[in-house]
Copies of this chain bind each other. A is one copy, B any other.
Amino acid sequence: MVLRMGRTSDARERLVQSAIDLIWQASYGAVGVDAICERAGVKKGSFYHFFASKDELVVAALDAHWATRRVDLDRVFSPTLPPLERLKNYFAHIFARQTAVRQKYGRVLGCFHHSVGSECIQAAPVIAAKVQSVVTMYRMYLETTLRDAKAVGLIRAGDPVVHAKTLLAFIEGALTQARIHDDPELLRNLEGTGLALIGLGSAAQDAEATHPG
């Protein structure tokens, strides 16, 4: 029993990718099952062979998108790098990525998970739960990094957990602004302001230089 019986197909994967593409560009409400099927080249009967509902597909799409984000972020936030470098990597990565997204999709799209989450939080509990868990994982990268930064003495005061929430809010807000204005430039100087948020701004660093203890 090395292979499974019956027909094989990548229709499920195509459906998931189509859902990501269409919903990220527009929204959950604006994209119907029919549109997703058409883009994937899959008939609706097949859709409901793989997914019990539209919401279940969206949960799968959130998961799949997270899986690809995770590969990037594991590299960006590698514990082999000094914490400050991880943060700088991340800020640069966001700018580069949204610039690439704009090339591919024709406009800045911001964060898929947060967009879907904010839209569906009230009416679609399974989607809401998935988004909450993914957002928490985003935050964990920052938490770990900030804890390391504190251990190394890069940051003096403040709870890394609180700082991580703050930093995530700032980054996500910048992504939303970039989406609304279709302007990746709003993400270019994430680093300067992001570091200021956790007391590592250039001003604070100046102060540190002349007042180091």
Q: What's the least CB distance linking A150 to chain B, in Å?
A: 13
Would you call A118 and B179 a contact (CB within 8 A)?
Answer: yes
Return the chain B residue nearest A163 by Cβ.
B193
Shortest distance from the beta carbon of A34 to any chain B beta carbon, whole Å? 15
Stretch at the interface among A6-14, A21-29, A64-72, A74-82: A21-29
Taking a contact as CB atoms under 8 Å apart, the answer to whether A180 and B123 are in contact is no
Contact of A166 with B193 in the complex, beta carbons under 8 Å: yes
Residues of B within 8 A of A169 (CB): 170, 173-174, 176-177, 186
In A160-180, the 8 Å CB interface with B consists of 162, 165-166, 168-174, 176-177, 179-180
- Determine whether A126 belongs to the interface, using a CB cutoff of 8 Å to chain B: no
Query: B176 contacts A132, CB within 8 Å?
Result: no
A117, B177: Cα distance in complex, Å: 10
Interface string of A180-213 (1 = CB under 8 A from B): 1110001001000100111101111011101100
- Which residues of A in the span 100-133 have a Cβ within 8 Å of any Cβ on B? 107, 110, 114-115, 117-123, 128, 131-132
A176: chain B residues within 8 A (beta carbon): 114, 118, 169, 172-173, 176
Task: Report how far A197 CA is from B171 CA in the complex, Å.
Answer: 12
A204 CA / B28 CA spacing, docked (Å): 43
**Interface core residue of A27, A110, A182, A203 (most chain B CB under 10 Å):** A203
Residue in B28, B120, B172, B179 whose beta carbon sits within 8 Å of that of A173 in the complex: B172
Q: Is A135 an interface residue (CB 8 A)?
A: yes
In the complex, A156 has a CB within 8 A of chain B: yes
Complex partner residue of A203 from B30, B114, B157, B172, CB under 8 angstroms = B157
Task: Show the binding face of A for B, using Cβ within 8 Å.
Answer: 25-30, 107, 110, 114-115, 117-123, 128, 131-132, 135, 156-157, 162, 165-166, 168-174, 176-177, 179-182, 186, 189, 193, 196-199, 201-204, 206-208, 210-211
